[in-house]
A and B are shown apart, each in its own frame.
Chain A
């Protein structure tokens, strides 16, 4: 990867990586650090990374870093605790986006990351499997389970409202 290609990765991927890290960790400063660290790693290893592999390389680093942070800080919260937090925020019924973000935060870290990679970045099951060191079947199962949990959350929320 040349310097020009690296800079192109910065311009095209920095926002997506930051968005993914923010949603994954719910911490913008921490997300910024993770993204910067990912680009520093890419720059140091640019001789070994082809230009077309830049995106998957960066998302793999950010995904793993997010998982590490969740593990070390014990921030993988249970769904029950998150449901309580989400319910106290009381978003308006018509604010579907806010409701969805709250529902997303009820998922465990891995399921949330899979949903983010699928919906925000549009990766296929196979690509997500490559990024996350899972197999395609696992990705499919975890994603479907996450979707069902999100739907369950929305149904229960509608019932409450």
Chain B
């Protein structure tokens, strides 16, 4: 806006009230510098601005304040540290317990319906070329550990472990898994199982071998890769393990029987729903 004598008073009032932009204020001051007769008017209006009245203070301020909600400062105490340590100890104890439990489950996997843990595999040479003739059994004590959940493993002729899915009737020497304890009667039967007559013969066969048989067996098996000799003492240990498994089995069976007699009740508020076998 162009400043002239008609609007300069309004411009001065706007300037005093702080309503002019920097550019407009510069233009006004420049005009006044060129026309000093307006400077007196500018100074008069500037002097009319009320000075601050700092001595006037409201006395009842505190009465107007409202109680504020207390905010407690955060102070990390030692309690959480102790709790963290306790939690760590509990975690470690839990992990140890789980490890122990899983190790127990490995033993328990020998229960009916699961894969046998320890079996004594005794390769049996069966002559299938002449049906009806008594089979020639050549027992060889060999122990292996089978951990497969799906298959019963057999020991092949060359000592390599193979699934017991050999075709029946094949012209090869067949190997069969023979349990060393009656508990193995509950174990799954391998495919290509020997006839009952052969099994009866094997069951009657003593575990201990004669010295000559042992020497021959050792000589023939010592060259096989991965073969380990097993002594009677180890077999005794295995029997102990099987006895333990039998105990676990009995325990589980008793618990299952107990569960069958148990009545389960679900509470929904005041209602109760009972489940009985």
Q: Which A residues are within 8 Å of any B CB, using their own CB?
A: 3-4, 6-7, 10-11, 14-15, 17-19, 22-23, 32, 35-36, 39, 43, 96-97, 100, 103-104, 115-116, 118-120, 122, 124-125, 140, 143-144, 147, 150-151, 154-155
Contacts and interface: CB of A to CB of B under 8 A. Distances in A.
Interface stretch (B50-58, B92-100, B260-268): B50-58
B16 interface: yes
Contacts of B17: 118, 125, 143
Contacts of A7: 65-66, 68
A119 B16 CA distance: 10
B223 interface: no
B50 A11 contact: no
A23 B59 CA distance: 16
Q: Is the interface of A mostly helix, strand, loop or mixed?
A: helix
Contacts of A115: 50
B50 A18 contact: no
B25 to A, nearest CB: 15
A3 B69 contact: yes
B16 to A, nearest CB: 7
A89 to B, nearest CB: 18
Nearest to A23: B53
A131 to B, nearest CB: 15
Given A17-B58, A18-B57, A43 B66 contact: yes
B61 A11 contact: yes
Contacts of B57: 15, 18
Contact of B48 (A10, A22, A35, A151): A151
